[in-house]
């Protein structure tokens, strides 16, 4: 229990991705017939540490959202630099 609390703080899990991101990602995990595939942890030690799935995106949680936001900001920065060069006098 203490370990789970420490992990939650260290992962900066303030976005509560368990409530909105995980259901979205699990809906993408379907077979050819549209049935949801079950995700199980590798073993009980991983499950006790908060890694309830073998999917990396589900386990990353808020960190995945932060990485996407940083990549988006870097892309916007690059585009703005290119626009600034093209409009330079």
pLDDT tens digits, 36-70: 567 777 778 777 776 777 777 777 778 888 899 99
Mean pLDDT confidence for 12-24: 75
What pLDDT sits at residue 2?
A: 75
pLDDT surpassing 70 at residue 16: yes
For the chain, the DSSP string reads -HHHHHHHHHTT--S-HHHHHHHHHHHH-B-TTSPBPP---SSHHHHHTT--SS-HHHHHTHHHHHHHHHHHHHHHHHHHHHHHHHT--
pLDDT band at 30 (very low <50, low <70, confident <90, very high): low
Whether this prediction's pTM lies above 0.75 is answered by: no
What pLDDT sits at residue 31?
A: 64
């Amino acid at each position: 229990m203490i370990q789970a609390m420490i992990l939650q703080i260290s992962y900066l899990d303030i976005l509560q991705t368990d409530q909105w991101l995980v259901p979205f990602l699990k809906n993408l995990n379907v077979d050819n017939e549209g049935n949801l595939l079950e995700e199980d942890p590798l073993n009980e030690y991983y499950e006790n540490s908060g890694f309830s799935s073998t999917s990396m995106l589900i386990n990353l949680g808020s960190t995945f959202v932060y990485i996407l936001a940083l990549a988006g900001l870097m892309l916007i920065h690059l585009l703005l630099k290119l626009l600034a060069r093209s409009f330079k006098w």
